[in-house]
Amino acid sequence: MPYNDHLANRVREALASLPNLDERPKMGGLSFMIEDKLVVHVQDDELMIRCDKARTDELLDWPGARPYTMKGKGALKGWLLIDSPGTTRQADLMNWLTITLSATAEAKVSRKRQG
C-alpha cells in the first residue's frame, strides 16, 4: 500500500480551505504542496512533515514523532516522520499540520523549481 487513504483524506479535509493546494503522487505516496513547497507527505500510515529546524529535537518528544533520515545523510533537521500514535486523534493531526504549515510558509522553493 503506497499510502493510507483514510489518513490522506483526513489531511485533504484539514487543508481543503488553503489556496493553491496541490496534490501530487510522489516517492510512493501522496504529497500535498503549496506553491511548489512540500507541506506534508503521506506514505503508508505515516506523515512526513517540515518543521522549524530549531524545534526538531523538541518535537521528537511528541507522540509518534521520529527523525526523518536520508541514506548517507542521517537525520535531517527540519523534517520529521509522524506515525499513527501521533495522528490518531484529530487534535494531534491538526497540531502537526499547524507546525508544518508554519514551517512551509518560511521555507524557500528549492532551486530546482525556481525560475
Q: What is the pLDDT of residue 72?
A: 79
What is the band of 115 on the pLDDT scale with cuts at 50, 70, 90?
very low
What is the band of 28 on the pLDDT scale with cuts at 50, 70, 90?
confident
111 pLDDT above the threshold of 70 = no
Contact 59, 65 (CB under 8 A): yes
Selected residue with higher pLDDT from 107 and 51: 51
Burial class (CB in 10 A: 0-12, 13-18, 19+), 93: buried
Q: What counts of helices (H) and strands (E) characterise the chain?
A: 3, 6
Please list, in sequence order, all residues whose beta carbon lies within 8 angstroms of the beta carbon of residue 73, skipping any fewer than 6 positions away: none
Q: Is residue 112 part of a domain?
A: no
Q: Is residue 12 part of a domain?
A: yes
**How far is it, in rounded angstroms, from Cα 96 to Cα 88?**
12
Q: What is the pLDDT of residue 6?
A: 95
pLDDT in tens, 38-88: 999 999 999 999 999 999 999 999 999 999 998 878 899 999 999 999 999
Comparing CA positions, the residue from 90, 81, 79, 86 lying closest to residue 9 is: 90
What is the band of 21 on the pLDDT scale with cuts at 50, 70, 90?
very high
For 58, the domain range is 5-106
Q: Number of structural domains, the chain?
A: 1
Q: Is residue 111 part of a domain?
A: no
What does the mean pLDDT of the chain come to?
A: 91
Q: Is residue 40 part of a domain?
A: yes
Q: What is the pLDDT of residue 31?
A: 96
Q: Is residue 114 part of a domain?
A: no
CATH number reported for the structural domain that contains residue 16 in this entry: 3.90.1150.30
